[in-house]
A and B are shown apart, each in its own frame.
Chain A
Amino acid sequence: MGLITSLIAITLRAGTSLVYATIGETYAERAGILNLGLEGIMLMGAVSSFATAYYTGSLGLAIVVALGVGGLMALIHAFLSITMKANQVVSGLSITLFGTGFASFLGQRLGPESNGRYLIGLTGPRFAPIDVGALGKVPILGAILGQDLFTYGIYLLIPLAWFYLYRTKNGLWLRAIGENPRTADAMGVAVDRAKYGYTVFGGMLTALGGAHLALAYTPGWSENITGGRGWIVIALVIFSMWNPGRAITGALIFGGINAVQFRLQASGTNVPAAFLNMLPYLATIVVLVAITWWEALSKRVGSPASLGQPYVREDK
């Protein structure tokens, strides 16, 4: 495999979990709900899916469990933000604090006796890259096709998520809710129900991103397996201007720098590993800030106007 092709392969693999979470959070934010619980939800998605796969041997069941756990955690956030009108930042941060701690706890309790009840260091079933035979040798195309099912999932998810948001009736409703929930309500859109739905959907996709880490990208469970990806996603949503079609770009920037960084480490440079590990985060933030700043200046785009604000029908 050529250098470029292998870099593309790693980039896609590293960006996959980010795409799931970015699209999930984009949908939640389009409905006006800011969910800072992503990091916690991703970790819980990772630990629950890995434990399920380890004990049942079923990858399908592992995914179902991750979706359930992610949906449930987002449902708590939805209940606090929508029904209880709580501060969404506080609620989201609580979910992350809880998710981080509880995932770590489960990682030390759910394992078998033989491993001292730890999940760390175990291997379970995983999603392997698909063998596409001779096609895998084709430059670039080989990198795109030689991926696991999760990555194939984003090839479908990105266009579908874009189409739903910009071309369907429900997508129009969704965009309206985030912009102006009062108007959407007065025009007959069931605002609260949609807010619940999209928040839960966002949590499910985010947990799926976590499951990708534990079942395919770095198979197994380790403490802080997400490496802060939940936070990167918050920035990626802004960078993509709440457009799921652009979620891929940001994810690829992060994934790409990660890929280069891996290469450098593998080639044995004398740059400290800690610095290289930091590089993707630093570079992503710098690139995002620069591009977002430039775009916000040149276009009339911004966050959904009601983002983070509770909606009360009879408020004045």
Chain B
Amino acid sequence: MEDTANEVPLVEMRGICKSFPGVRASDEVDLRLERGEVLALLGENGAGKSTLMNILSGLYRQDSGDVFIRGEKVDIRSPRDAADLGIGMVHQNFMLIDTMTVAENVVLGMPSLPFVPDMAVVKRSILELGERYNMTVDPDAYIWQLSVGEQQRVEILKQLYRNAEILVLDEPTAVLTPQESHELNDVVKRMQAEGKSAVFITHKMDEVMAFADRVMVLRKGRVVAEKTTRDTDPKDLARVMVGREVLFHIEKGPFEPGAVVLELKDVCADDERGLPALRELSLSLRAGEILGIAGVAGNGQRELSEVITGLRPVKSGGISINCVDSTNKTPLQIIRSGVSHIPSDRMAVGAVGDMSVANNLAMKDYRAAPISKGIMLLPRRILEFARKMISAFNIATPSPETRVKFLSGGNIQKTILAREIESCGSLLIAVYPSRGLDIGATESVRNELVAQRDAGKAVLLVSEDIDEILSVADTVAVMYDGRAVGVMPTAGADPEEIGLLMAGIDPSEKETRL
């Protein structure tokens, strides 16, 4: 090696190339990570961030290029090889087994585990670790019972448990609330203080500034910039990342609400575990209004969208849509009453990955002409319809016949959005619609929601991003522990007050105590 001994980087990737059918995901990428450093990998969806890190963690194999760890050339053929080198990755799509417990997931695949593991010991260390890093999870809970935020914690605990020296976090904050992001930042800082290093993948500029020492910007598989965070700012980064100036502003017509479209009265419902998720929740939403639901994930937001769309039974109370009772109706009946739904779990609920873009677009309209005739679907009409939607919504796809799972996250989201908006009668329910999207896609999704409102539809927007709610919604309701604890117009709302409500603190009480 030409470097002197104490300047050998912890990780060095040289000239990495990786192609998938039709795309060059990594194109001669060089990457360096020093000991004790946090490196941000910034780029839009599809820029090749995950691919590069999947190569480092042994899940993908590079077509060409070399990887050096602590100065030595290594051949990483599997995730096991990577783990042996101290590399641990928290993947963008959770690598968790739903039907197993937290403890089982944490120890999965660890070679050092005894043949007959003592799960009591494992659980105790998980609790200890959770306390040390301030991210507790019940080790006996099943993954399917946890909220996305909690699942993310399990993912990070898994790597802490393995004592990974080099931690790769692939868009970890995409599913976290602002508070949880802060907690994560603390965890990363603590690991850094312990001499560990991290690669932090994101497409959010402010996170680069908060988490990282250095940033590497990727665009279309190539490195387009490399800077220390001290020498840059979010605006500069956004320009390099997108390749043009970005506007952070949304145009909105005047707020002129019409008749009440959605009304919930004292709705109660349970979660999967049979525990109360909604407690006497009452809300109302008018035509031409966007109601933003703020709150920390796991306070009943998912259940709220599910009771409205008929996916979860209501135990007591009532829901009416356009003054017609829709309590405990089937999803089909609710779709027919003019409700559209953009779910949070896009791949599982919102789209069929193995079906074409065209079929996914037509999925809700297949029952009626012109797409079908009797029980026959008309494939040519479906394609025609799809082409129209693809151009109207700017969906980047090689063809209408491409399978949806091959699109980037932003374009999958746009596909669902296009379908739901096209079929929307009077009420659109959007759950975390911009989660995981890059700036460009986020911008177009938000604009589309506002356009629907301006066209006189009622929009329920569930979001964990307070800024998104304040800029897009007309009214905000904060959910805490299954209740709506504060409902107020967004004009003039104080973000700090909303933050306190989200944490379950009544702001008026706090003032009296001060």
Contact = CB atoms under 8 A, between A and B. Distances in A.
Contacts of A170: 115
Interface stretch (A80-88, A184-192, A261-269): A184-192
Interface stretch (B26-34, B100-108, B229-237): B100-108
Interface in A171-199: 172-173, 175-176, 179-180, 182-190
B224 interface: no
A170, A176, A179 pick with most chain B CB within 10 angstroms: A176
B116 A169 contact: yes
A313 B97 CA distance: 17
B80 interface: yes
A239 B38 CA distance: 52
Contacts of B61: 314
Contacts of A314: 59-61
B374 interface: no
Contacts of A316: 405-406
Contact of A183 (B78, B97, B116): B97
B27 to A, nearest CB: 18
Nearest to A301: B99
A218 interface: no
A189 B108 contact: yes
A58 interface: no
B109 A173 contact: yes
A188 B83 contact: yes
Nearest to B113: A169
Contacts of B115: 168-170
B59 A179 contact: no
Nearest to A167: B116
Contacts of A175: 97, 100
Given A169-B117, A172-B104, A180 B97 contact: yes
A172 B79 CA distance: 18
Interface-centre pick from B96, B100, B107 (highest chain A CB count, 10 A): B100
B500 interface: no
Given A179-B99, A316-B405, A186 B110 contact: no
B108 A183 contact: yes
Contact of A188 (B98, B110, B114): B110
A190 B107 CA distance: 15
A182 B96 CA distance: 9
Interface string A151-179: 00000000000000001111011011001
A190 B78 contact: yes
Interface in B60-114: 60-61, 78-80, 83, 89, 91, 95-100, 104, 107-111, 113-114
A185 B79 contact: yes
Interface string A290-316: 000000000010000100000001101
B397 to A, nearest CB: 14
Contacts of A187: 79, 95, 108-110, 158
Given A168-B116, A176-B108, A316-B405, A188 B100 contact: no
A186 B59 CA distance: 7
Interface string A228-266: 000000000000000000000000000000000000000
A175 B109 CA distance: 12
A157 to B, nearest CB: 18
Nearest to B407: A316
Contacts of B57: 186
Nearest to A302: B99
Interface string B301-337: 0000000000000000000000000000000000000
A316 B347 CA distance: 12
A172 B116 contact: no
Contact of B100 (A167, A176, A300): A176
B113 A188 contact: no
A204 B139 CA distance: 37
A170, A176, A182, A187: most-surrounded residue (chain B CB, <10 A): A187
Nearest to B111: A188
B99 A188 contact: no
Contacts of A182: 95
Contacts of B104: 172
Nearest to B81: A188
A190 B109 CA distance: 9
A170 B99 CA distance: 17
Given A169-B113, A316-B406, A186 B95 contact: yes
A183 B96 contact: yes
B18 to A, nearest CB: 10
A156 B57 CA distance: 41
Interface in A55-90: none
A305 B100 CA distance: 12
A183 B158 CA distance: 12
A226 B405 CA distance: 45
Nearest to A183: B95
A173 B96 CA distance: 13
A176 B57 CA distance: 20
B108 A185 contact: no
B100 A179 contact: yes
Interface centre among B91, B109, B115 (most CB of A within 10 A): B109
Nearest to A170: B115
A167 B80 CA distance: 23
A173 B114 CA distance: 13
B409 to A, nearest CB: 12
A179 B97 contact: yes
A127 to B, nearest CB: 32
Contacts of A169: 107, 113-117
B80 A188 contact: yes
Contacts of B95: 182-183, 186-187
Contacts of A300: 99
Contacts of B117: 168-169, 172
Contacts of B96: 183
A299 to B, nearest CB: 12
Contacts of A189: 80, 108-109
Contacts of B158: 187
A169 B122 CA distance: 12
B441 to A, nearest CB: 19
A172 B119 CA distance: 12
Contacts of A188: 78-80, 83, 109-111
Nearest to A182: B95
Given A183-B97, A316-B406, 5 more contacts: A169-B113, A170-B115, A173-B108, A182-B95, A184-B108
16 contacts: A167-B116, A169-B107, A169-B113, A172-B107, A172-B108, A182-B95, A185-B59, A186-B95, A187-B110, A188-B79, A188-B111, A189-B108, A189-B109, A314-B59, A314-B60, A316-B405
5 residue pairs, one from A and one from B, having the closest CB atoms: A187-B109, A188-B109, A188-B80, A183-B95, A186-B95
Interface of A: 167-170, 172-173, 175-176, 179-180, 182-190, 300, 305, 313-314, 316
Interface of B: 57, 59-61, 78-80, 83, 89, 91, 95-100, 104, 107-111, 113-117, 158, 405-406
